[in-house]
Amino acid sequence: MPLCLVIDPMHESLFAMMTAIGWQVDYKPTITRDEIKAIRDGYDGLIVRSKTTIDRDLLGPSPTIRLIGRAGAGLDNIDLDYMQEKGIHVLHASEGNRDAVGEYAVGALLSLLRNLPRANAQVRQEVWDREGNRGEEIMEKTVGIVGYGNMGQSFARRLSGFGCKVLAYDKYKTGFSDTFAREASMETLWAEADIFSLHIPLTAETRRMVDTLYLARFKKPIVFVNTARGEIVSLADLAAALEKGQVRGAVLDVLENEKLATLNLNQRQAFDFLAGRPDVILTPHIAGWTFESHVKINVALVEKIKALQLEKKG
């Protein structure tokens, strides 16, 4: 029976699922990097979230591990080149939290357009300001989506009842227009979008992709939504675009640096500026974080592990 080391907190449903497909699980959610290195050679698989970087240093020059299962969507904490070099299978479970991300993106967008955070705070202070909180509808607006994988499609699907136009751009796909979105060029998104939402992974190519020059290409002031990865967006450049009116509102579930105690001076200035604005919603990377997705991620990941049909070496 192959043995899998699980190094992050996981929903307990994982263990029965793994046993059912013939895997033994060693659950060590508080294990340190040095401790992993000390015991790594006894395992066939590794299931991780995002706290640990998975690379040559962690796995060693001749790893026995043949499978990395990422319990979530992003793979930016995994050295994919090294995994390919060593023939290690890398799986992720973006199907597991795509529903949560799609719902969050729509819900947070509605909250921003209808001024719900501000209105809620005012009423609690006994301020009854209807006109000051007059909002906007999504209907008849153009929503631009970058990245039409699991997350982008989930967002588009949930927008289908709002009477808006949805355009999607994906650098690595063509011919993907469907009931929920029409394939478009990036130039079309820059020209037409009223609302702009990112659904792409963090890679060397996309790191700080959204900067001053990128934001300046939009023809209209946009509402900006990021539920993908914070490091895709320069926080300082986004703050500057808000100040200039190029961006007229933002939903940010992810930040360039999510360890707020370690913000450098530029990041601190940008964060403080954003945090002080009523047209910005900030949340702590919770778009895909629901009770349901906690289990769905396990289901999606275990199905993929089962499909590999790995046997215990030796």
Residues of the chain with CATH 3.40.50.720: 3-92+292-308, 98-282
Going by C-beta distance under 8 Å and a sequence separation of 6 or more, which residues neighbour residue 260? 271
> Looking at residue 314, what is its pLDDT?
52
How many Å apart are CA 156 and CA 144, to the nearest integer? 10
> Looking at residue 313, what is its pLDDT?
62
> Looking at residue 152, what is its pLDDT?
98
> Looking at residue 74, what is its pLDDT?
87
> Looking at residue 309, what is its pLDDT?
82
> Looking at residue 273, what is its pLDDT?
98
Beta bridge partners of 168: 145, 183
pLDDT digits (tens), the chain, 314 positions = 899 999 999 999 999 999 999 999 999 999 999 999 999 998 999 999 988 999 999 999 989 999 999 999 889 999 999 999 999 999 999 999 999 999 999 999 999 999 999 999 999 999 999 999 999 999 999 999 999 999 999 999 999 999 999 999 999 999 999 999 999 999 999 999 999 999 999 999 999 999 999 999 999 999 999 999 999 999 999 999 999 999 999 999 999 999 999 999 999 999 999 999 999 999 999 999 999 999 999 999 999 999 998 776 65
- Catalytic, out of 85, 187, 205, 258: 258
C-alpha distance from residue 105 to each of 45, 132, 136, 157, 286 (Å): 33, 24, 16, 11, 11
Query: Is 258 among the catalytic positions?
Result: yes
- Catalytic, out of 66, 92, 158, 229: 229
Is there a contact between 275 and 246 (Cβ–Cβ < 8 Å)? no
Query: Is 103 among the catalytic positions?
Result: no
- CA 86 distance to own-chain centroid: 27
Q: Which ranges of the chain does DSSP label H, i.e. alpha helix? A: 13-20, 33-39, 56-59, 80-86, 94-113, 116-124, 150-159, 186-192, 212-216, 235-244, 265-275, 291-308
Is there a contact between 292 and 100 (Cβ–Cβ < 8 Å)? yes
- Catalytic, out of 11, 89, 285, 303: 285
> Looking at residue 312, what is its pLDDT?
63
- pLDDT tens per residue across span 67-122: 999 999 889 999 999 999 999 999 999 999 999 999 999 999 999 999 999 999 99
> Looking at residue 62, what is its pLDDT?
87
Amino acid at 288: G
Query: Is 92 among the catalytic positions?
Result: no
Determine the topology of domain 3-92+292-308 in CATH: Rossmann fold (3.40.50)
> Looking at residue 280, what is its pLDDT?
98
Is there a contact between 296 and 71 (Cβ–Cβ < 8 Å)? no
Determine the topology of domain 98-282 in CATH: Rossmann fold (3.40.50)
DSSP 90-130: EEE-HHHHHHHHHHHHHHHHHHHHTTHHHHHHHHHTT---T
